[in-house]
Amino acid sequence: MTAATSPASPDARTGHPTEAGVGARSRRGDGDRTRQTILDAADRLLMESASEDAVSIRAVADAVGLTAPTIYRHFTDKSHLLFEVCAVHFDRFDREVIAPVAERVEDPIEALREMAHAYVRFGLEDPEHYRIMFMGHADHTPEQYDDHQILSTGCFGTVVAVVERAVETGRLRRIDGGPLMTAYVLWSALHGIVATKVAKPNMPGPAPTALVEAVIDANLHGLAL
């Protein structure tokens, strides 16, 4: 990568951190910088390999020029590392995509439609992140991501708020279970679309974009005659 030093070479004590590597032993307070370097490397590995299996502790360690046990000084667990990597993506998605739509788009229906497309686009962009966050075994999930946390991470609250606005302005029916249930209904369908495409990218079927349109239309206007 860089010309200065061969990055992440096993025995290179060449001095300063390389692009992705750590290089010489970090200073006393530089643990956090190393931690961030590890996060970045894991993120990159996860995106490039598109498989959680390829992101082994040893692979991450190699990528940053450390040894495997050192990772455990910065992260308690492999699942903690991976979830933190994914949480960054989900947080940014909520902050930079969903929240702006909620503010920008006046019409709640149109806002929901835009969010739906953005959500599916986001899920399919880095499928492995989506898989780890929403499709992984609960036993492999760190405690802090259990239950409510994983929902708030997934921009669910923003959607509920928009649904509430739509119900209050008379754009959506009020169903049993309230706006929360409505949000779950919509989210389930979108999650189904993403989860299918993430798990089986080559499965035949309609293009996600067309399916999202159909799902929204069906949920809004109904399929029955």
Question: Which residues of the shown chain bind its own copies in the complex (CB under 8 A)?
Answer: 51, 53, 109, 134-139, 141, 146-148, 150-151, 170-173, 175-177, 180-182, 184-185, 187-193, 195-196, 199-206, 210-211, 214-215, 217-225
Task: For DNA, give the closer residue by CB, 67 or 209.
Answer: 67
- Partner touching 173 among DNA, its own copies, none, CB below 5 to 8 Å by kind: its own copies
Q: CA separation (Å) from 62 to 38, 162, 189?
A: 10, 45, 40
Assess 50 for contact with DNA (CB under 7 A). no
Task: For its own copies, give the closer residue by CB, 5 or 119.
Answer: 119
- Partner touching 25 among its own copies, DNA, none, CB below 5 to 8 Å by kind: DNA
Q: 123: which residues sit within 8 A by CB, 6+ positions away?
A: 130, 194, 197, 198
Q: 34: which residues sit within 8 A by CB, 6+ positions away?
A: 22, 26, 64, 66, 74
Q: How far is the CB of 152 from its own copies (least distance, A)?
A: 11
Distance between CA atoms of 118 and 112, rounded to whole angstroms?
10
Q: Are 63 and 127 in contact (CB under 8 A)?
A: no
Q: What is the DSSP letter of 143?
A: G
Task: For DNA, give the closer residue by CB, 67 or 144.
Answer: 67
Residue entry with tokens 């953005």: 118
Distance between CA atoms of 52 and 60, rounded to whole angstroms?
12
Q: How far is the CB of 24 from its own copies (least distance, A)?
A: 38
- Partner touching 219 among its own copies, DNA, none, CB below 5 to 8 Å by kind: its own copies
> In 10 A of CB 9, how many CB atoms?
14
- Partner touching 211 among its own copies, DNA, none, CB below 5 to 8 Å by kind: its own copies
> Which one of 44, 78, 117, 121 is in contact with DNA (CB under 7 A)?
78
> Which one of 5, 7, 22, 108 is in contact with DNA (CB under 7 A)?
22
